[in-house]
Structures are given as structure tokens and as C-alpha cells.
Amino acid sequence: MLKVDMDTKVKFLHGFSHKTRIQILECIKNNEKTVTQIIEDIRSSQSSISQHLACLKGCGLVVGRQEGKYVYYSLRNQKVRELLTMFDDVLEDVENDVACCENHIS
Amino acid sequence: MLKVDMDTKVKFLHGFSHKTRIQILECIKNNEKTVTQIIEDIRSSQSSISQHLACLKGCGLVVGRQEGKYVYYSLRNQKVRELLTMFDDVLEDVENDVACCENHIS
DNA sequence: ATAACATATTAGAAATACCTAATGTGATTA
DNA sequence: TAATCACATTAGGTATTTCTAATATGTTAT
């Protein structure tokens, strides 16, 4: 197991730190989708979705492939998919305690 | 597999969205530590560490137990530990691409 | 009881992230 | 080639998060 650079890890995990981004990840978890499809699925603006997709790409979580005028986004690889599954797994356990806490850091 | 509430998931994942919090999690990954020990390990102020610990507790990632005047913090459970390990695992794969991306969403 | 230690909390300033609105770019269709 | 469609980018206002500095709380030792 190689040592992973901390700043890289911070950047990577930043990808999961916003509701819209999490929704995007779940939305494309099982099959790739175009930006338009993602916009339809998630209730948010084109610009916002596009910016979050750029973020997710930068974080290394998703990849996009262009096909004609469409861009198809999908999870980067199987491991990212497993990670998303694992979140649900861990959360089943944690759910009750998290639910009753209302504040972030401040 | 139960369905996990989205807002709960967002709150949970928020725990991983700051360098100091990630450092704390790694710092206590293998054994519980007092706040003072954590402060010594991570270069940050007492107040900041304490606030981040409260955040992590609220996110359901860590638990604290008081013993005399000390409070020992540790990961909530084995699954959270596995999650941290999995981050490293996924990152080995992603590292190069993340490293060459400099911006967050903006 | 007083002092010292460990930790938590608060308030407000500073930094960062996010959204909206507008514009830009590249591909396809007419 | 002009128009349209799909998507990306930018700028700047707004909201949220984080840090610092100060103070509070609870525990142990003197």
C-alpha cells in the first residue's frame, strides 16, 4: 500500500462534500449519463451542475467522454462505485446518531 | 440494504471535507487519543481541534469517552476504519489525475 | 477552597464555497 | 452559413465555513 499524499486526499474527499455532487454521483452510479440527463434528474441549474461536474472530474471521481455534441459522465472506476456503496453500508449503522445532530462545525 | 436518507448522508460525508478533520481521523485510526495528544500530533490550535472534534462527533464518525479530566476520542466503529482504509485504496489509483487538478468548484 | 489542567463554547472577523446570470465554445442541423 | 443545441466558463454577489481570541466548564491536585 503506497503512501497517499495528504493534499491529494483532501482534494479527493472534497468531491463528496456537497449535496449536489453526491446526487450526481448516485445519479451516474450505475450507468453513464449526459449532462442534460443529469440536469433532468437533479433539480438544479445547468451552470451549477456543470460546475459541480468539473469539480468531480478534478477530484478524480468521474470521467467524461464526448460523443458528438453530448458529453457522457460516469464514475471513474469500480472502486469509486464500491466506495459509494460502502457509504450506504456504514450509514445504516450510524444513521440514528447523525440524524439527531443539527450543526456542522459552527 | 435499507434506504439511507440523503440529508443524513450529506451530513456524514461533511465530516471528511476538511484537512484537519481528515488528519484527526487518521490520527486516531488505530487507537484512541486524548484531545491533547491529537493537538500535539496535528499542528493546529486547541480551539480549532475541539471544534472539529465536535463536528466529527456530530457527523457520526467519532466517539468520545471521558476518563477523569481527559476525553479519549476514537473512530466510531470498525466500518469507519475500513472506510478510511478504502480511501487510500481508491486514491492509489486516482492519485495522478487528482494531483494535476488545481481548482475546486470555483 | 484555590490553583492548575483538560476540554468546550462563543462571538465575530476572515476565508472559502456556491449560486445566478450572462456569455463563450464547439458540434450538429437546416 | 446561420441557427440551434449541449455544455463550459466567468464574474460577482451571497451564504457558509473556518479561524482566532476570549471565556466558560469540569476535573484533579495542593
Domain-by-domain residue ranges, chain A?
6-96
Alpha-carbon torsion A84, B51, B19, B77, what sign?
negative
Fold that domain B6-99 belongs to in CATH? Arc Repressor Mutant, subunit A (1.10.10)
Decide if domain A6-96 falls under CATH 1.10.10.10.
yes
Distance A68 CA to C26 C1' (A): 10
Nearest by CB: B101 against A19, A58, A77: A58
**A102 has a pLDDT exceeding 50:** no
**A17 has a pLDDT exceeding 70:** yes
What string of pLDDT tens digits covers the 106 residues of chain B? 556 899 999 999 999 999 999 999 999 999 999 999 999 999 999 999 999 999 999 999 999 999 999 999 999 999 999 999 999 999 987 765 444 444 344 3
**Whether B82 contacts A93, CB under 8 Å:** no
Q: Residue B3: what pLDDT?
A: 66
Nucleotide nearest the Cα atom of B51 (by C1'): C8
Residue A44, Cβ neighbours under 10 Å: how many? 15
Q: Residue A74: what pLDDT?
A: 98
Q: Do A101 and B58 touch (CB under 8 A)?
A: yes
A50-54 long-range CB contacts below 8 Å, 24 or more apart? Answer: A51/B105, A51/B106, A52/A18, A52/A20, A52/A21, A52/A24, A52/B105, A53/A24, A54/B105
Collapsing DSSP to helix, strand or coil, A104 comes out as coil
Distance B32 CA to C19 C1' (A): 41
